[in-house]
Amino acid sequence: MSTLKTLAAACALALLAAWPAQAQTAPPSYGPPIGLEAARVVMIAAEAEAAKNNWPVVIAIIDSGGHIVMLHRRDDTQLSSIEIAQGKARTALMFKRPTKVLDDAISAGGPALRFLSLKDIVPLEGGLPIVADGKIVGSIGVSGVLSSQDAQIARAGIDALK
């Protein structure tokens, strides 16, 4: 299993290297895991954005090690959004980039379509790394409405840390 993960990571890195120059800025390094208080700040702001728009979503926050810190499902949210939100958060963490980068790359076609063969990624907009002191401390994933709206909610959560 370890060999398969290594191979998948090598393929992903090769694909990232093939992206246009503007997408090749070095992402931040991983840092210590996000604490519960910082995760609460992010969650409260994200939930406020969802509530303001009356959007039924799931919001997942994971730490820099990929472990769930918080997960909230608003009333009447489709059950599939639980797994999708967590998947968006994991994908943003693993690739150190917003999931929109992968979404856009796949939409453009060509070599980036190879991302679709990777296991356990969710290349849909709505996942963002959480950066504190220049290091990735975790990520947030949102699912339940349009992907751009999911991203709006995630961004509102992250902006609360500034």
Distance CA 91, CA 139 (A): 9
Q: Kindly tell me the number of DSSP H helices and DSSP E strands found in the chain.
A: 5, 5
Looking at the chain, the whole-number percentage of residues with pLDDT higher than 70 is 85
Higher-confidence position of 150 and 13: 150
Query: SS3 helix, strand, coil % of the chain, rounded to 5?
Result: 50, 20, 30
Q: Residue 131: is it exposed, middle or buried by C-beta count within 10 angstroms (0-12/13-18/19+)? A: middle
Distance CA 145, CA 117 (A): 25
Phi/psi for 122 (5° steps) reads: -125, 90
- Residue 155 CA, chain-centre distance (Å), reads 11
Distance CA 111, CA 120 (A): 19
Beta carbons within 10 angstroms of residue 26's beta carbon: 6
Averaged pLDDT, 3-26: 51
Distance CA 4, CA 119 (A): 10
pLDDT at 142: 98
Please tell me whether the overall predicted TM-score, pTM, comes out greater than 0.75 for this model: yes
Distance CA 94, CA 159 (A): 21
How does residue 7 score in pLDDT terms, banded at 50, 70 and 90? very low
- Model confidence over 39-77: pLDDT tens digits? 999 999 999 999 999 999 999 999 999 999 999 999 999
pLDDT at 162: 86
